[in-house]
Amino acid sequence: MGSPESRERWRFSTGQGGMSRPAVADGVVHVSSGPKLYALDALTGQQRWSFVTGHERISPRAPVVAGSVVHFGSDDATGSVYALDALTGRQLWKTAAGAPVSARAAVADGVVHVGGGGGLLALDATTGERRWELTGGEVLGCPTVADGVVYAHVGGERDNRGLHAVDAATGERRWRFTTGHEWNEASAPAVSGETVFLSSGSSLYAVGARDGRRRWEYRTGHYATASPAVADGLVYCGSWDHHLYAVDAVSGELRWRVRADGAVASSAAVADGLVHFGSWDHHLYSVDAATGAPHGKFAAGDRVGSPTVVDGTVYVGTLKGHLHALRSLATGPGDDAN
């Protein structure tokens, strides 16, 4: 069975509350906490560099790595978007957004798409110059780019809120889908093939990527604000009703669900046949992706955020600012945390 320590490879503490979802690339883990961004060695957890914005608090959903550049935003009153050299932490550019940047950026085809209180903003990835801007409502979840289209979940006025599909090159809106349940939180869309998946209110939705028409809706028992994950024909989504759901991506029928002892507000990470997700019960859970059978859990001692899995290691942060690097348990079942 083993102890929690037998699964933990290393731990890093920021000394302050809050932590973003880790972004892992080229052997480096990038994670933000408060006004500071950290770059850590993925194997050892040793700090390579750090960057401090000053008084600006970095968005809790930041950062994202594209090539050799780290992008993130700050969610202070005026908001800024930053680009740093991923190797050294040197600032390449900074662009004022004019409103809090609350969502993680999406980078594609030389453009950085960011969302927040001012709407959806497209910036040149090299210079930070504005390409276009879509105003009229706050972007509630992180934008997603697929096949030249930006998908963003927007709140605000009734005639504007919902899931927007926007041309990535021009900012022209192609369609809007509203669930009728948008509030002050919503998920980032997940795109797979010709379908966009999103959670809003207490439901998981499948929407046609071309026309924005609803294909199906699956209702959970409470708020479903975690961003869905899609893999091998299943959509995984957590709910405040203490469950992680696995739903058939085509039919919307429930395949399985597993229960935690607290709300599942984190997004799931799927890798090597396992699904990893955090809960407010202070545990990270690992279950079989096809069946939901338990594969183990890790006691983090604090509310657990959304994990990232790379090369057999699960990286996950907690509300109190601790980052854990854990074995993924993909080689065999067992509970390493009890």
The answer, yes or no, to whether residue 336 has pLDDT greater than 50, is no
pLDDT of residue 55: 67
Interval 23-35: pLDDT, tens: 999 999 999 988 8
Helices and strands, counts by H and E, the chain: 1, 32
- Region 40-60: what's the mean pLDDT? 87
Is residue 273 within 8 A of residue 247, CB to CB? The reply is no
* Nearest Cα to Cα of residue 166 among 142, 180, 182, 146: 146
The answer, yes or no, to whether residue 307 has pLDDT greater than 60, is yes
Report the distance separating Cα 228 and Cα 246, nearest Å: 10
Q: Return the DSSP state at 280.
A: T
E-strand ranges in 5-46 read 8-13, 23-25, 28-33, 36-41
Find the helix or strand (DSSP H, E) in which 200 lies: strand 195-200
pLDDT of residue 326: 96
Report the distance separating Cα 168 and Cα 121, nearest Å: 10
- Region 266-289: what's the mean pLDDT? 95
* Nearest Cα to Cα of residue 103 among 86, 123, 84, 81: 81
pLDDT of residue 188: 84
Interval 163-192: pLDDT, tens: 999 999 999 999 999 887 665 556 789 999
* φ and ψ of 231, to 5 deg: -160, 135
Interval 242-263: pLDDT, tens: 999 999 999 999 999 999 999 9
* Nearest Cα to Cα of residue 64 among 34, 96, 100, 108: 108
The answer, yes or no, to whether residue 334 has pLDDT greater than 70, is no
DSSP string for residues in 93-120: EEEE-SS---S--EEETTEEEEEETTEE
Interval 199-248: pLDDT, tens: 888 899 999 999 999 999 999 988 888 889 999 999 999 999 999 999 99
Report the distance separating Cα 123 and Cα 272, nearest Å: 35
Which pair of structure tokens corresponds to residue 104? Answer: 């993680």
